[in-house]
Amino acid sequence: MNKKVLFGTFAALFIVVLIIPAAFACDEPCFCFQKWICGAGTSIPMGSPVTWWIHFEITAYSAMEQVVVTDNLGGELGIVLPEYLITQGHTHVTYFGATQKVHLLWDVGNLNPGDHVELIIEIYTDLNPGGQQEYTSPGCYALNSGATLKFYYNGVKYSATTDPIIITVY
């Protein structure tokens, strides 16, 4: 993990819990970036239509400029547009590859210390090219690649990435 990102992640936790005023003395950006799912859970029956909501959340403890979040969803998934909730910025969705994977871009803009922004998108198991409801085989699958947050702080570019969301199909 990038040293700057590691510091930013731990510093945000430390500052929130222990000394909030230190956030203004950081030489590195202080922030919290999270992603989780709601809805069907992470264990689903094979070939069943399923809906989830992916929740992205950023809390800035330092000024963050040109904030952008990206995430790639598996080809087994579709996305409902417009987004379920967005508190700042706008989203853009493109499709790529033979399986039409979804690429989500959330252009947040700039954040000031204390700003808290959220995005909630609705996704669902799609039909495959043969017309069958995904997922057609049991196993473990990544719903996404892990969201990536990129931004500038004092003219330096930083990034942080969440873990992918893993589901089990039975």
In this structure, the number of other CB atoms found within 10 A of the CB of residue 135 comes to 24
- State the CATH number of the domain containing residue 86: 2.60.40
In this structure, the number of other CB atoms found within 10 A of the CB of residue 132 comes to 10
Would you place residue 68 in the very low, low, confident or very high pLDDT band (cuts 50, 70, 90)? very high
Per the structure, the complete domain to which residue 158 belongs is given by: 35-164
For residue 4, pLDDT beyond 60: no
Structural domain contains residue 28 = no
pLDDT, residue 5, reads: 43
For residue 18, pLDDT beyond 90: no
With contact defined as beta carbons under 8 Å apart, do 30 and 15 qualify? yes
Structural domain contains residue 6 = no
Average pLDDT over residues 19-24: 38
For residue 58, pLDDT beyond 90: yes
With contact defined as beta carbons under 8 Å apart, do 126 and 76 qualify? yes
Structural domain contains residue 48 = yes
Structural domain contains residue 30 = no
pLDDT, residue 130, reads: 86
Would you place residue 26 in the very low, low, confident or very high pLDDT band (cuts 50, 70, 90)? low
**How many domains does the chain fold into?**
1
